[in-house]
Structure formats: structure tokens, C-alpha cells
Structure 1
Amino acid sequence: MVGSIEVDVMSDKLNGKVVPLPEEFDPIAMISDPLPPQVVENGGIVDDEAEDKQNREIVLGKNVHTMCLAVTEPDADDEVTGEREAYMASVLARYRRSLIERTKHHLGYPYNLDFDYGALAQLQHFSINNLGDPFIESNYGVHSRQFEVGVLDWFARLWELEKNEYWGYITNCGTEGNLHGILVGREVFPDGILYASRESHYSVFKAARMYRMECIKVETLASGEIDCTDFKAKLLPNKDKPSIVNVNIGTTVKGAVDDLDLVIKTLEDTGFTHDRFYIHCDGALFGLMIPFVKRAPKVTFKKPIGSVSVSGHKFVGCPMPCGVQITRLEHINALSRNVEYLASRDATIMGSRNGHAPIFLWYTLNRKGYRGFQKEVQKCLRNAHYLKDRLRSAGIGAMLNELSSTVVFERPQDEEFVRRWQLACQGSIAHVVVMPNITVEKLDDFLNELIGKRSTWFQDGKSQPPCIAADVGKENCACVMHK
């Protein structure tokens, strides 16, 4: 019986329907044991920028030159008077106050700002560089590879890949993880075609341009999830070439999770055997949340995927941008090169790599562990549902995907309000990403201000709230036509 239900769900998705999760699905339910089992050792290039300009005028931020802090030469007597040190101290003090204020009004970007790394301040005096391969010590001795490999082992266990079967490294950001994952796919299949949904992160299409890969954009459902009917239609004319597929474990704008199992089934049904496709999973934010959501689809190397990447400065909460990239060891030889003067091997995107980031990641993973992340995921999903419900009760169109903490709603009319709350906007929609540091109190402050502002935006009766049905579906729109 269960098997027939699963077949029906896949059939509906292949027909382009938005399929809700089963009724018994509870996005904030606690899974009984979040601890994964211990692993036993043994070329059409898409010009997205031109397309965006053609479709709409994009609102850019302020020119930083209008407020930059100039670098000036010290006066001859500065060492005696100490005026320069006092000046710099005052600038930094003002900057710190501005950071505190901006952090209070931070809602639109997926960064966990709830952290305290005071214990690591003692390491700031060292230039820690993990240049080269994480698993091969180089001649440069001031490194943190022992922390880096410990973190990689933790993630390999999370994604069910044995220690002797994976390769990975700590990246400088989520974009680097995508660049590396897609590069591995390209090296495994030099004549492969890259497929990615239209709502994939911009770094995926950047990779296509950088590597001069043929890239085909796939349509999405209203939820933001990849439309596997369109995916199949675009695979069929290219059955003679291998497929390199980017799968989103949470899209940037809507937080939609592509159905990995359906993507694999679509490839198989179209005639692609496992040795003719490579799947990279972009899990920048939700890749670390989904393992702790009960009955959520599983991202695991037990399925025929090639790589997974997540960001370290997002859900984990590192103070500097960083990320984790894991791939199968069998693939890495395709792009690695030995470097004599390093006494190591190069298989990464960057040369020098931040050696402090692995220590921050290691510190957090040890403090929180799998169970700690599980509690934070539950809190985020609960608060996201609270925000969505309050928006809707105020007559504001809003959508929340079932596996997501990204709440999508009508784009505010006032760009100053957008900047104040640091909202991420696209077309007629904006979103709030509910992270562990986002409390109900902060959401209430935001909602009260938004509702108050809306009463002035639409008070003359001439302006109306935007229709967002095309973005999130008419059932989530609150415009005059779809109320």
C-alpha cells in the first residue's frame, strides 16, 4: 500500500503538480535519535545577468564610496602623540556599535548570528593556513588539518559515506562548494551537460560560465522545486551526453527542496545509468537542517550522488564565511595535482585556505552535536510557522515550504524599510530566513512595523498590495483577485 502511494506521488510530480507532504508529516516533530550510525572504516552558456536586466530593473545597494573609510598616511609625530591610535580606536568603537544595531534588524539572509567564540580569541595571533590537501600535511607547519579532517569526518558520517571512501575540504563559502562540486562533475564527464533549475543559486550558473559548460535551465513548480516533467523533456534530446545535475537542498529565495529521489528516477527513466550522471547537492543552508526533520527526504551517499556542500556561516554560525564540500574519493583523482614545493596535493579551488574556519566549525560541532542542531532546527521551523501565520492573519500573502524556515511574502513598498530589516527581495516577493538567533520577540517587532507601514502604503486606495500568485501560487496570494 505504501509503495502505491509513493508511485502516485511521483506520478503527480511528473505531471507538474505541487504535491504536499503526507498528512502525518510534522515539520517540527523531533526525530527519536538524531545521531547517525557510526560509519565503519574499511555549451550553451546562460547569461543570467542579461536575462535579469531584460525582465526588470534591479534595485542595487548604495555606492560604498560615499561612506568608505579612507586610509591616510600617519603624520611624522604620530608615534609620540598617539593621535592615530586614538582615532582608529574611535572608528572601531563606532563600527562595533553599528554592527550591534544592524544585527538587531537582520532577517533576510541565512546567517546564524547566535554564537560566542571567545575561547578562540587566543588563536588570532597566528597565520593558520591549510594550503593543499587536507589529508596530506604540507611543509607549512602552522595549519589546522587535524581540526579540518575531524569536521569532515563528522559530515561524512552525517551523509553516510565511509572514511576511506570520501574526500573533502573546508571551503571559503557555499559558492566555492558549488564551484568544486560542479568541477568534479565536469572532470568526471568532460562532455557532460549541466542541468539546474531556474531557482538554483547564481553560483551554479557562474560555474557554467567559468568552465564553459553547456548549461540547460529547468523550470520549477510554484514552490520553487525543480519540475521533473520539464527536466525529463530536456534530458530526452541529449541522451547521448552524460548529465551533471545540480540538486537544491533548499533554494535561495523560497527554500524549496528538490526531490532527490524523483530526480534520480527521472534520470533512470530517461535511460541514464548511474555511470552516466553526476549529481551535486547544494545544501548551503538546509543541508544541515533536513537531517533533523522527521520523515524528511534523506540526503545520503547511499544514493547515486557525487557531492554535497553546505555553508558553515549559515546554520552552524561561524563568524567568517566558510563551507564544507564532500565528494567520493574515487572522483578526486580526476582533478588533483601534486605540488612539490608544498609537499602536498592540490585538488581544491583556492590555493591558500583559511585555517581558522575549521577550528570554529570543530568548536561548534563539539558544543552542539547532532542533538543540539536538532533542537535549533525545531525552534527555527516553529518560529517560521508563527511568522507565516501572523502574516496571513494580517492579510499579507505568504508562503512557507514544508521543509523550510524561509518565509516568502509580498515585497514591501518602501526600500528604506527593506534596507532597515535587511530583507532579500526578488521581483514582487521578499523573504525572511528564520535562524536560531531570530526570536519571536524580534519577529513581533518586524511584524508590527510592517503592518504599521502597510497602513500608510495603501491608505489612499490607489495602491494595492502586489499579486504574488505567479511567484508562490494563488493559494498563497492575498491580492484583491486572490483573497
Structure 2
Amino acid sequence: MKFEVSVLDWFAKLWEIEKNEYWGYVTTGGTEGNLHGILVGREQLPDGILYTSEDSHYSIFKIARMYRMRCVKVASLISGEIDCAQLETSLLANKDKPAIINLNIGTTLKGGINDLDLVIKTIDKCGFTNDQFYIHCDDALFGIMLPFMKQALRISFKKPIGSVTISGHKFLGCPSPCGVLITRLKYINAFSRDVDYIASRDATITGSRCGHAPVFLWYALTIKGLTGLENEVHNCIFKARYLLNQLRGAGIGAMLNEYSNIVVFERPLDDNFTLQSLCIAKDVGSRNCACSIHKLSRNY
């Protein structure tokens, strides 16, 4: 489908991989993208151990159970990003096994962005060569936002990553769940198969897929354009910071990671607290600002 190819080419350019070097498809959302990305890693490194932070999306732990992979849960920093000191300890403790690493580029609850460059340095420090590790980037929300923020972490296939996935129904606002998965073309032949029924090769998770999703994604990217997306990103960040200041001004403990639009505030003690917090949030902006709000314990 031309719409799907157009969408994939758009993201391939965003993540700096040549057209003849990538393979991808439009998924049902971030979970399917994670399913596929980690499957690619497992096919490359069949006896690999999956490493992921405790703040990872729940789908990662579900995937580990589905694939019956050994999963090492690594501690997170207060920001929600992975603790690279503990990652190093875990990698060294299992140096006889390859590493399949899931990196959250924006955790669900705190918006913690794992430092890809620091993780790569940590892997290198532990003595793993390029054929001994695979990195999957769960870029569900921030994958479209970060490229439009100066000095923010850059996700690029020029770095030794294996796959990236984003969700289309979050920041882009597609009306039904969808997403995009991009990986390196050289990995796909390992588990793609010729299917007589469809007279084609298939390497997707679901097989049959919704034909509307690529159209929704193409429309969102086309109608907004690069300038529109950049403006929306900066609008989201501005409103998130405004919300943070309003909550703190009202005496409500809150935090906001740099380059994040997810505002975290202390767990409500009563209904009045909840109503006060939500009223402040409602005043900040419209649904399109994509400003996420999460409630956590006082020990955030």
C-alpha cells in the first residue's frame, strides 16, 4: 500500500536509515511494535537475556512471558530512566549470555528518557561486541516529539540499535490504535516466510492488518507537516511546564522530566485534592496538547 510505504519512509528518514536498509510495517500500536522488535532481537540472539527497567511498559514483561525469555528487571532512577550502574552490574553478572535490551524513550508514568548513548557506552564497557547485543527502543510517545526539541536525545540507526517503535494514537492523535515498527532489513529474513495463501512473504506479528491505519498516519503527518508537528511539540512542553508551576503554586508536590510532557504529582489523600488537581489540569489546555498527567505516591 502506497500510504504505508510513505509513512514508513517518513519515519526511516526521521531515524536516519536508508530506504534500502530498513524494513517496517504499520502495527496495531506500541505493544505490537514491542512484540516484533524483541522478537527480532531474540531471533538474532536465541539465548539472549532480556534487560529492561522496572519502569518499562507492562507489555515488555508480558512479552518476556510469552516468548519464555529470561528477563532481568533493572532498577530505575527517580526520573524513571534506567539505572546504568545497575545495568552494568547485571550485564557483567551474565556476560556469558548475549544481551537484548529494551530501552524506554519516555516511560509511561514519569516520562523518563533512557540515555541511549550512555547505555551503549555501558554495554561497550562490559565488553559486549556488536554481535552480542541487540537494542530495541520503545519510543511510543516521545519518538515523534524528541526530534523537534534541540539538545534532546537523538534516536538514530546510525547508532547500534536494532529496532524502534512508536504509537500513532498518542501524540499524532490517530482515531484508532496504531503504530510503526522499523528495523534493519538484514534481520528480517531470519523469520520471514513465503505464504502461498497471500502469494507474498510475511514477517508481521498479526498477518492480516487494518488498511485504515496507514491512511490515518499518513493524513496526520501530511496535514500537520514538519512545522505543525514542531509547533505542537513546543506547545505541549510549554503547557506541561505551566501545569507543573500551577500545581506547585497550589502546594501540590509535582515533577516534570526535561523534554517530557508527563506531569507527575503526589497521590491524592482525599477527593478534594483530586478535584483541585484535575481542575488545574483542565485549565491548562485542550485534548490536542497531549499533556499527560499521572498520580504517584509521595515518594516520586
**In structure 2, which of residues 19, 27, 31 is the aligned counterpart of residue 163 of structure 1?**
19
Q: Spell out the pairing of 1:168-207 with structure 2 (5 A cutoff).
A: 168-207=24-63
**In structure 1, which of residues 290, 299, 321 is the aligned counterpart of residue 146 of structure 2?**
290
**In structure 2, which of residues 279, 287, 298 is the aligned counterpart of residue 437 of structure 1?**
287
How many Å separate the matches in 2 of 1:435 and 1:317? 15
Asked if 1:364 corresponds to 2:214, the answer is no
Check whether the contact 2:100–2:133 (CA below 8 A) recurs between aligned residues.
yes
**In structure 1, which of residues 345, 348, 356 is the aligned counterpart of residue 201 of structure 2?**
345
Q: Spell out the pairing of 1:76-475 with structure 2 (5 A cutoff).
A: 145-414=1-270, 437=287, 468=298, 470-471=299-300
Check whether the contact 2:267–2:297 (CA below 8 A) recurs between aligned residues.
no
Deviation of the 1:335 alpha carbon: 1.4
| Equivalent residue, structure 2, for 1:4 | none
SS in 2 for 1:236: helix
How has the CA–CA distance of structure 1 residues 161 and 319 changed in structure 2, closer, same or farther, with 3 Å as cutoff? same
How many Å separate the matches in 2 of 1:193 and 1:387? 40
SS in 1 for 2:143: helix
How many Å separate the matches in 2 of 1:354 and 1:155? 19
Check whether the contact 2:38–2:100 (CA below 8 A) recurs between aligned residues.
yes
**TM-superposition CA deviations, 1:219-249 (whole Å, max 9, x none):** 0110111000000000001111110000111
Deviation of the 1:422 alpha carbon: 9.0
**251-260 or 332-341, larger mean C-alpha shift:** 332-341
Check whether the contact 1:185–1:244 (CA below 8 A) recurs between aligned residues.
yes
Check whether the contact 2:8–2:25 (CA below 8 A) recurs between aligned residues.
yes
**TM-superposition CA deviations, 1:298-341 (whole Å, max 9, x none):** 10000000000000000111000000000000011111111011
SS in 2 for 1:399: strand
Higher strand share: 2
| Equivalent residue, structure 2, for 1:73 | none
**TM-superposition CA deviations, 1:139-167 (whole Å, max 9, x none):** xxxxxx11101100000000000000000
**TM-superposition CA deviations, 1:72-122 (whole Å, max 9, x none):** xxxxxxxxxxxxxxxxxxxxxxxxxxxxxxxxxxxxxxxxxxxxxxxxxxx
How many Å separate the matches in 2 of 1:285 and 1:299? 13
Check whether the contact 1:379–1:436 (CA below 8 A) recurs between aligned residues.
no
Give TM-score, length-normalised by structure 2.
0.93
**TM-superposition CA deviations, 1:399-438 (whole Å, max 9, x none):** 000010000001223579869x999xxxxxxx99x88735
Deviation of the 1:289 alpha carbon: 0.4
Check whether the contact 1:172–1:322 (CA below 8 A) recurs between aligned residues.
yes
How many Å separate the matches in 2 of 1:416 and 1:380? 27
Deviation of the 1:199 alpha carbon: 0.1
How many Å separate the matches in 1 of 2:272 and 2:5? 44
Check whether the contact 1:181–1:307 (CA below 8 A) recurs between aligned residues.
yes
**TM-superposition CA deviations, 1:182-220 (whole Å, max 9, x none):** 010000100000000000000111110000000000001
How many Å separate the matches in 1 of 2:278 and 2:202? 38
- In terms of Rg, which structure is larger? 1
How has the CA–CA distance of structure 1 residues 321 and 397 changed in structure 2, closer, same or farther, with 3 Å as cutoff? same
Structure 1 residues without counterparts, runs of 5 or longer: 1-144, 424-430, 447-465, 472-483
Q: What's the C-alpha RMSD, in Å, of the aligned pairs?
A: 2.5
Give TM-score, length-normalised by structure 1.
0.58
How has the CA–CA distance of structure 1 residues 416 and 323 changed in structure 2, closer, same or farther, with 3 Å as cutoff? farther
SS in 2 for 1:206: helix
Deviation of the 1:273 alpha carbon: 0.9
SS in 1 for 2:287: coil
How has the CA–CA distance of structure 1 residues 438 and 171 changed in structure 2, closer, same or farther, with 3 Å as cutoff? closer
How many Å separate the matches in 1 of 2:33 and 2:164? 8
Q: Give me the identity figure in percent.
A: 64
